[in-house]
Amino acid sequence: MGKWRRGLPRGLQNRVYVNLGIGLPTQVARHAPAGIEVWLQSENGMLAIGPFPTADAIDAVLINAGKQTVTTLSGSSIFGSHDSLARMRGGKINLSILGAMRVSAAGDDPGQDESRTWAARWGWSPACHAC
């Protein structure tokens, strides 16, 4: 089991809202501990993400931030990425799991330069730092 999966139980508590970035974070839905209720949000604007679909249930319109097809759960909401960011900045998200490409080997954010000003980079990293 990878280190990232061993750390999941500490962050995935019962009844929390979790924002998932691209890359490994999209796998959280497969590894959430049994018996807890967690609402997963995709950075591109979907709350209450369900598991990855079976081959016969793929809906190409329902995608996560990593462009993988997903399913929805009862009560799911679909909204713009600007609302996703607003939920993070507004304190409505309990935990945000960022993709590894957004963290350097030293554990800092490569979206910042040495003067700690924001460099021009893609992704949600700067927005999450503001949260």
Active site residue 114: no
- From the candidates 26, 28, 43, 49, give the one annotated as an active-site residue: 43
pLDDT attached to residue 98 = 74
Exposure letters 67-79 (e unless 16+ CB within 10 A, then b): eeebbeeeebeee
Exposure letters 35-64 (e unless 16+ CB within 10 A, then b): eeebbbbbbbbbbbbeebeeeeeeeeebeb
Q: Where are the domains of the chain?
A: 3-100
pLDDT attached to residue 21 = 80
pLDDT attached to residue 46 = 92
In this structure, whether the domain defined by 3-100 belongs to CATH 3.40.1080.10 is answered with: yes
pLDDT in tens, 36-95: 888 999 888 999 998 889 999 999 999 988 889 999 999 999 998 889 888 888 889 988
Is the pLDDT at 7 greater than 70? The verdict is no
**Angle CA 39–58–52, to nearest 5:** 35
Is pLDDT larger for residue 105 or for residue 131? 105
Q: Record the pTM.
A: 0.72
